Amino acid sequence: MAMIEIKVPDIGDFDEVTVIELLVKPGDTVRVDQSLLTVESDKASMEIPSSHAGVVDELKVALGDKVKQGSLVLMLEAAAEGEVVAPSTAPEAANPQVDAINQAQALVEYAPEASDSVAPAADPVEVRVPDIGDFKDVTVIEVMVKVGDSIKLEQSLITVESDKASMEIPSDAAGVVQDLKVKLGDVVNVGDLLLVLQGVAQAVAPAPATASADAVAAADAVAAPHIAAAANTASDSATSNHAPALSNVARAAISNAADQTVTSVSAQTAAPVAAAEPAAALTVPAHNPTTAPLGLPHASPSVRKFARELGVPLSEVKGTGLKGRIIDADVQAFTRSVMSATVQTSAIATSEAAKVAQAGGGAKSQVGASDGAGLGLIAWPVVDFAKFGPVKRKEMSRIKKITGANLLRNAVMIPAVTNHDDADITDLEAFRVATNLVTEKAGKNGDQASVKVTMLAFLVKACVAALKKFPDFNSSLDAESDNSALIYKQYFHIGFAADTPNGLMVPVIKDADKKGIFQISAEMSELAKKARDGKLSPAEMSGACFTISSLGGIGGRYFTPIINAPEVAILGVCRSTIEPVWDGKTFQPRLMLPLSLTWDHRVIDGAAGARFNVYLGHILGDFRRVLL
């Protein structure tokens, strides 16, 4: 055999990548294109395949090493031309005695791993963290076994993760888990106790007999002498070369090989492939890079760390990367979906079901629970109101249903704060009344169309001035960046709440900064009529930067309006009243307008909210400030 250097092939634009997984070890037989190790950069991970077939002689890399194109990975003892490397592909030998010898030697070599039945040993075995390279203080991110589980040698017990890599810790003994010493989130190092096993002695499982009776008899007659000879040969070999490692069960299996010819030969007759590959059936399947790893979601360590920081269950996230790999964007999208209540995690769903059952169970409770269970609240009370007196049921309008869902989302998700203040509009109201008298007279004379100016039109212009003074109020959180940036609008579209028979609607005055009081008043009147008639188009209700909700025609004093996302503030106004105001010498009767400004505390702080309200009050007190 020739010794060949296996190096990192062309891996694209990546300079240096980190080795995060070794898939082979010295002595392993590898095929062409079989994966040897997994490497990872800041943005991707990939598996490095073998360019030749052969047996691994020496590994030149370790976990955590940095490699790049051309770096030496391992030394491979490659097969000479015409020489078969993998025993799984070797043709069936013509000599039945050779087959029998191979089978008996396989029993010797794999006896500890071939058993399906276990018997408890006397002393418990402690399983500790083996040498995991230069990593220290790694975190347990998955526990793969539990107390009472039967495990095999080299079976993975836990998965640990450092800042740059994740790895599975195997068991160095077989047995039944008696006590777990670690849990999720624990930090472990080399030598730390993982679990205690009740050790076992392995027993060889009999091969399945699938051949017919005639085939069994014929096989017995031909192969029995060879099997017996093979058993003797293998026993002698084992005694001389493998005595320290040979279990009593394996010795018994070899010594009694001749007595087992019916079962073993029957299996070989019915399945010649299995007879030709006794070792292959007992080895771990070759690593398949096209399938997601078992136990952990298909994601890099950095993505799993990011998900843990957000509390995202990766098992419920659908990956959009190559081969279904979960990437950062998938975690962010899942988080946004949960926050907007369009997706429920399994934990929330389970909690909801438990609360529904606790509240009384049944179909009625499940229906009522939908109005708060997603928020972790107790189920909505389901009451038979008819038992208290006559009732009448009426379906909510489509607009009310849509509005209600949006208001609930906004009220729950936005950390809203409301500032209350009063604006002196005595002079502004006098000007408005005088203006309407003039326009009414001009309309009667036919000089111009009569347009009634409302206080709301002045409020729109005043709010535009305040938005220019405080641009944070004319911004929105950037949902595309997970609300980590602000989008400042260079336009001024003002929405106003309109009460209609079908529910609340919000028409929008576009480019209010470019329109005068008369134009705004006329447009508001037209949009309000369309809203009452149910003829507003979607375009006439979208694009608002800021909303005004006026209860001036009804009454009241102050209230807390709910922000209309994605806006960051809303102004509520009530009916103005005459109040005594101290002017420094005496109390004067002044017309005061109550203002209620609600703002998103993620974007606006308390000082800015107060300044906006005060500035707005000054504008309304002296409207000439709009010109400044």
We report the CATH number of the domain holding residue 330 as: 4.10.320.10
Which pair of tokens denotes residue 239? 């005694």
Contact 374/349 with Cβ under 8 angstroms? no
DSSP string, 151-183: E-TT-EEEEEE-SS-EEEEEPSS-EEEEEE---
Task: Give the strand pairing for 569-573 and 546-550.
Answer: parallel
Number of Cα atoms under 13 Å in the Cβ half of residue 572: 21
pLDDT at 579: 94
> Is residue 43 located within the same domain as residue 123?
no
Q: What angle do CA 402, 464, 458 make, to 5 degrees?
A: 90
User: Is residue 349 assigned to a domain?
Assistant: no
> Is residue 495 located within the same domain as residue 426?
yes
Contact 159/296 with Cβ under 8 angstroms? yes
Task: Provide the number of structural domains found in the chain.
Answer: 5
pLDDT at 390: 95
> Is residue 520 located within the same domain as residue 561?
yes
pLDDT at 356: 54
Determine the length of the chain.
628
- Mapped onto helix, strand or coil, the DSSP state of residue 608 is helix
CA distance 616 to 173: 76
User: Is residue 352 assigned to a domain?
Assistant: no
> Is residue 34 located within the same domain as residue 155?
no
pLDDT at 172: 87
Q: What is the mean pLDDT of each run of 10 residues along the chain (628 residues)?
A: 86 77 87 84 73 91 89 84 46 44 44 42 80 78 88 85 72 90 90 86 42 45 46 43 40 42 41 40 40 57 78 86 79 84 75 59 40 69 93 86 88 94 95 90 74 93 96 94 91 92 87 94 93 88 94 87 95 94 93 96 95 95 87
Q: Which residues contact 467 (CB under 8 A, 6 or more apart)?
A: 473, 474, 492, 545, 546
User: Is residue 106 assigned to a domain?
Assistant: yes
User: Is residue 616 assigned to a domain?
Assistant: yes
> Is residue 389 located within the same domain as residue 407?
no
- State the amino acid at position 606 in one-letter form: G
CATH of the domain at 594: 3.30.559.10
Phi, psi for 352 (deg, rounded to 5): -65, -45
Closest CA to 103 of 319, 311, 276, 308: 276
Closest CA to 382 of 398, 393, 366, 405: 366
Q: Which residues contact 542 (CB under 8 A, 6 or more apart)?
A: 508
**In this structure, is the dihedral angle defined by the CA atoms of residues 343, 347, 353 and 355, taken in order, positive or negative?**
negative
User: Is residue 346 assigned to a domain?
Assistant: no
User: Is residue 484 assigned to a domain?
Assistant: yes
**Quick one: 184 exposed, middle or buried, by C-beta within 10 A (0-12, 13-18, 19+)?**
exposed
**Quick one: 305 exposed, middle or buried, by C-beta within 10 A (0-12, 13-18, 19+)?**
middle
User: Is residue 585 assigned to a domain?
Assistant: yes
pLDDT at 78: 80
User: Is residue 536 assigned to a domain?
Assistant: yes
pLDDT at 549: 94
> Is residue 113 located within the same domain as residue 239?
yes
pLDDT at 203: 41
Q: Which residues contact 354 (CB under 8 A, 6 or more apart)?
A: none
> Is residue 442 located within the same domain as residue 583?
yes
> Is residue 146 located within the same domain as residue 271?
yes
> Is residue 228 located within the same domain as residue 249?
yes
Tens digit of pLDDT for each residue in 131-180? 876 678 888 888 889 999 998 888 888 888 776 566 778 888 889 999 99
pLDDT at 79: 66
For 32-41, letters b (16+ CB in 10 Å) and e give eebbbbbbbb
CA distance 263 to 267: 6
Tens digit of pLDDT for each residue in 332-383? 888 888 876 677 787 777 766 665 555 444 434 333 334 555 667 788 889 9
H helix or E strand, kind and range, residue 354: helix 346-358
Active site residues: 601
> Is residue 482 located within the same domain as residue 588?
yes
CATH of the domain at 70: 2.40.50.100
Q: How many CB atoms lie within 10 A of CB 158?
A: 26
CA distances from 583 to 14, 590, 605 (A): 74, 10, 31
> Is residue 443 located within the same domain as residue 326?
no
Q: What is the pTM of this model?
A: 0.44
**Quick one: 620 exposed, middle or buried, by C-beta within 10 A (0-12, 13-18, 19+)?**
buried
Q: Of the residues 393, 419, 437, which one is the last residue of a structural domain?
A: 393
Q: Which residues is 198 bridged to in the sheet?
A: 124, 176
pLDDT at 374: 61
> Is residue 380 located within the same domain as residue 316?
no
Q: Which long-range contacts (CB under 8 A, 24 or more apart) does 623-628 make?
A: 623/427, 623/428, 623/431, 623/458, 623/462, 625/465, 626/461, 626/462, 626/465
Q: How far apart are the first and last CA of the chain?
A: 91
Domain range for 310 is 301-339
CA dihedral 171, 174, 180, 182 (to 10 degrees): 0
- Mapped onto helix, strand or coil, the DSSP state of residue 214 is helix
